[in-house]
Amino acid sequence: MQSSASTAGAPAAPVPRLAMHFASLEVQDNAARLGMWLFLTTEILLFAGLFICYGVYRFLFPEAWAASSRSLDLTLGTVNTVVLITSSLTAALAVHYAKTGKNKAVAVQIFLTLLMAIGFLVIKYFEYHHKFEIGTLPGRYYFYEGIQLPGAPMYFTVYFCATALHGLHVVIGMVVLAFAMVRALRKGDFGPNNYTMVELGSMYWHLVDLVWIFLFPLLYLV
């Protein structure tokens, strides 16, 4: 009897609302995951265009691109890489805790992810600020005296386009994860039957991390 009473008094596991055009929650969740995968594919295609531009112009101006790459701050770029990779770990842990219904732990892990995202953007701000000061700017705004080679302005055009677009994705990912954190704190929404939102937000964040893993060696190392 005690066991039955305690079970009856325990809070019910959160269950998401089933939309009328889905046959079951499982179908609804699978549709959401498929939609996210398709969306992430389009995002990869978006960045692929920038990678192609990078490859073409590097082939045309190898000396200028090598010199321009060496002008970047490798230390700041490396720190940002470590920060972003670590943030992917905390985002994955948020999904793990969401599956087990530990909403406070979900909120903590997302909060840590957001802190590291802010750190990433702050470091990127200092990098941008330095480039504006010395004149390593895109296209016709380039006035840096240290590298006067054909193709250097185009390198920084690609640099700013790629990193600014990536930074925009970081901000979007932060908004999505922050919304999930609020839901975890205020409503305790997540549990074994309802963790898709955290999972999809984490998938998007992993894309942000993956894109930077490609951008870092291309811009800072190659």
Whether 18 maps to a domain, the answer reads no
pLDDT reading at 58 higher than 70: yes
CATH number for the domain that contains residue 138: 1.20.120.80
Instruction: Return the pLDDT at 1.
Output: 37
Whether 15 maps to a domain, the answer reads no
Whether 16 maps to a domain, the answer reads no
What's the pLDDT tens digit per position in 86-145?
A: 999 999 999 999 999 899 999 999 999 999 999 999 999 999 999 999 999 998 899 999
Whether 11 maps to a domain, the answer reads no
Whether 17 maps to a domain, the answer reads no
CA 112, CA 146: separation in Å to the nearest integer? 39
- For residue 73, give the DSSP letter: -
CA 199, CA 180: separation in Å to the nearest integer? 10
Instruction: Provide the pLDDT confidence category of residue 207 given band limits of 50, 70 and 90.
Output: very high
Its domain, for residue 141, covers: 24-221
User: Domain total for the chain?
Assistant: 1
Closest CA to 101 of 37, 10, 17, 26: 10
Could you give phi then psi for residue 140, rounded to 5 degrees?
A: -70, -10
Whether 77 maps to a domain, the answer reads yes
CA 117, CA 115: separation in Å to the nearest integer? 5
pLDDT reading at 5 higher than 80: no
Whether 19 maps to a domain, the answer reads no
Whether 87 maps to a domain, the answer reads yes
Interior angle at CA 112, CA 218 and CA 163, nearest 5 = 25
pTM for the predicted model, two decimal places: 0.86
Instruction: Return the pLDDT at 2.
Output: 38
Q: How far is CA 143 from its chain centroid?
A: 32
Beta bridge mates, 191: 194
